[in-house]
Chain A
Amino acid sequence: AQSVSQHNHHVILSEAASLELGCNYSYGGTVNLFWYVQYPGQHLQLLLKYFSGDPLVKGIKGFEAEFIKSKFSFNLRKPSVQWSDTAEYFCAVNTYYNQGGKLIFGQGTELSVKP
Chain B
Amino acid sequence: GAGVSQSPSNKVTEKGKDVELRCDPISGHTALYWYRQSLGQGLEFLIYFQGNSAPDKSGLPSDRFSAERTGGSVSTLTIQRTQQEDSAVYLCASSSGQGAGELFFGEGSRLTVL
A46 pairs with B102, CB closer than 8 A = yes
Contacts of A44 in B (CB 8 A): 43, 91, 93, 103, 105
| Residue on B nearest A106 in the bound complex, by CB | B42
Q: Which of A11-19, A61-69, A72-80, A94-102 contacts B (4 or more CB under 8 A)?
A: A94-102
A59 to chain B, nearest CB (A): 11
Residues of A72-113 contacting chain B, CB below 8 A: 90, 92, 94, 96, 98-108
Bound: A105/B103 CA distance, A: 12
Contacts of A104 in B (CB 8 A): 45
Interface of B is mostly: loop
Asked if A100 meets B98 with Cβ closer than 8 Å, knowing A44-B91, A44-B105, A45-B105, the reply is yes
Contacts of A101 in B (CB 8 A): 48, 50, 56, 100
Contacts of B56 in A (CB 8 A): 101-102
Q: How many residues of B contact A (CB 8 A)?
A: 29
A30 to chain B, nearest CB (A): 10
Residues of B75-114 contacting chain A, CB below 8 A: 91, 93, 95-103, 105-108
B35: interface (CB < 8 Å): yes
Q: Which of these, A46, A90, A100, contacts B99 with CB under 8 Å?
A: A100
B45 pairs with A43, CB closer than 8 A = no
B1: interface (CB < 8 Å): no
Q: How many residues of A contact B (CB 8 A)?
A: 26
A103 pairs with B103, CB closer than 8 A = yes
Contacts of A34 in B (CB 8 A): 102
A105 pairs with B42, CB closer than 8 A = yes
Q: Which residues of B contact A (CB under 8 A)?
A: 30-31, 33, 35, 40-43, 45, 48, 50, 56, 58-59, 91, 93, 95-103, 105-108
Q: Which residues of A contact B (CB under 8 A)?
A: 6, 9, 32, 34, 36, 43-46, 49, 51, 90, 92, 94, 96, 98-108
